[in-house]
Amino acid sequence: MKPTETDRRDFLQQSVVGAAAAGLTIASTSHATAQPVADAAEPEITNDVDVLVVGGGTAGHVAAIQAGRAGAKTLIVERNSQLGGTTTTGGVAFPGLFDAWGKQVIAGIGWELVKESVELDGGKFPDFAKVPQRHWHNQVYTNQFLYAILAEEKCAEAGVEIAYYEFPQAVRKTEAGWEVDCVGFGTKRRVRCKQIIDCTGGAEVVGMLGLPRLREDERQPGSFLFMLGKAHTPGREQIHRLYVHGADSTNSRTATEANLTGRRTILAKVRKEKKRLMHLQPETGFRETYRIVGETLVTVNDYTSGRVFEDAISHAFYPVDLHTKTGVRPKPLKRGKVPTIPLRALIPKGSRNLIVAGRSVSSDRLANSGLRVQASCMGMGQAAGVAATLAAKAGSTPLDVPLADIRARLREHGQIIPGKA
């Protein structure tokens, strides 16, 4: 049947109403223009850098910014689409602990970023001069979105190149260091570098090289963070946590399973509680995975006694914090005790030109449950950034760099060094 004049008029009216309604769904439009990418059409590229950081999470972006600021040509390869890892993509945007027993013990680049994010967000800082009743009172509530963008800005300022959606496929030793083949969609990248900093959270490069790693049969649950019923504002108390037991970040298949389980369970909750889903992180946050076997291993006794290692490069501070099927009973540290992190716990045993930072630090399980928190990971990242840079410049390996030089450079970049060293 041919459309009549009335049909045409109704159609036009509906189109106008439809367009106006569609317009209402977008509050405003602003514009930005992406710069052309050199060799964008070229599927295979090569980078020559001093330092390659694999994984741009809590430890990784700090390591990269530090390496860049210390003068190393630095590339960061991150398989996700933003920096910050568990802090941002995992949504654990309440980093801690930067203070212990009434004073700040971890500062440097991680603190600089947290502080700027909170200031830009009009947020609040805990009073580090006061010893809180509960340890988590002194975590810093941070805006995860701002944090991720500020981290990119600081990478750009430090001259650090970022490669998102990429991960290493093969790692080979060379005379000058390493040749690493990375892959992303539409990109094959060969990286020639002098030093690698493995900040994957699970020591994935260490695993690819066949170096030993530790992992428990049963790991702490991962957590999917979400919000039902009301909007999420930066902060810990407002967000819900779904424990995903058995969550395993070993590979894409196990991580997929954790994400599917998490989302399916949250959907069931939405249906049951009849509340709107207002916030959902894009992936599960994984608490525990592989740890390296380092040149030394931090034990829970080292941790709880506040042992000051002779090669300590950063503090750490948090209760022993093991999550299980029945929840978590944090075991606070005794008054005055502040654990430290030795450089040798970042060096995979017997390796050269390779250093690790973050939760895969060489440690036993209970020590790791405290060492894994964000301020400590940031401290490790900064130390790894300095050690790798100085090693690249000297043509040596991180363990051969004089400790005094590492510490002096860390102090220059605002970090607090344990003990009297």
Interacting residue ranges for ligand FAD, rule: CB under 6 A: 54-60, 77-80, 85-87, 90, 92, 94-96, 139, 167, 199-201, 204, 222-223, 285-287, 358-359, 372-374, 377
**Unique residue bearing structure tokens 């960061």:** 76
- Identify whether the C-beta of residue 192 lies closer than 8 Å to the C-beta of residue 174: yes
Question: H-type helices in 285-356, by residue range?
Answer: 300-304
Element of type H or E holding 386: helix 374-394
Q: What is the DSSP letter of 87?
A: G
Q: How far is the CB of 235 from ligand FAD (least distance, A)?
A: 11
Task: Compare residues 64 and 377 and give the one whose CB is closer to ligand FAD.
Answer: 377
The partner residues of 222 in beta bridges, in order of sequence, read 244
- Identify whether the C-beta of residue 69 lies closer than 8 Å to the C-beta of residue 158: yes
Q: How far is the CB of 120 from ligand FAD (least distance, A)?
A: 20
Q: What are phi and psi of 4, to 5 degrees?
A: -85, 175
Q: How far is the CB of 35 from ligand FAD (least distance, A)?
A: 24
Q: How far is the CB of 139 from ligand FAD (least distance, A)?
A: 5
Task: Compare residues 209 and 403 and give the one whose CB is closer to ligand FAD.
Answer: 209
Task: Compare residues 94 and 111 and give the one whose CB is closer to ligand FAD.
Answer: 94
- Identify whether the C-beta of residue 280 lies closer than 8 Å to the C-beta of residue 144: no
Task: Compare residues 3 and 327 and give the one whose CB is closer to ligand FAD.
Answer: 327
- Identify whether the C-beta of residue 352 lies closer than 8 Å to the C-beta of residue 332: no
Task: Compare residues 188 and 393 and give the one whose CB is closer to ligand FAD.
Answer: 188
**Unique residue bearing structure tokens 């000051």:** 308
Q: How far is the CB of 413 from ligand FAD (least distance, A)?
A: 18
- Identify whether the C-beta of residue 343 lies closer than 8 Å to the C-beta of residue 387: yes
Q: How far is the CB of 157 from ligand FAD (least distance, A)?
A: 20
- Identify whether the C-beta of residue 114 lies closer than 8 Å to the C-beta of residue 89: no
Task: Round the CA-based radius of gyration of the chain to a whole number and report it.
Answer: 23
Task: Compare residues 258 and 395 and give the one whose CB is closer to ligand FAD.
Answer: 258
Q: How far is the CB of 54 from ligand FAD (least distance, A)?
A: 5
Residue nearest to ligand FAD (CB): 57
420: tokens are 């009297």
State which amino acid sits at residue 54: V
Task: Compare residues 375 and 406 and give the one whose CB is closer to ligand FAD.
Answer: 375
Q: How far is the CB of 243 from ligand FAD (least distance, A)?
A: 9
Rounded to whole angstroms, the Cα distance separating 371 from 339 reads 9
Task: Compare residues 18 and 94 and give the one whose CB is closer to ligand FAD.
Answer: 94
Q: How far is the CB of 380 from ligand FAD (least distance, A)?
A: 8
Element of type H or E holding 14: helix 5-25
Task: Compare residues 282 and 402 and give the one whose CB is closer to ligand FAD.
Answer: 282
Closest CA to 235 of 310, 106, 75, 124: 124
Rounded to whole angstroms, the Cα distance separating 81 from 165 reads 6
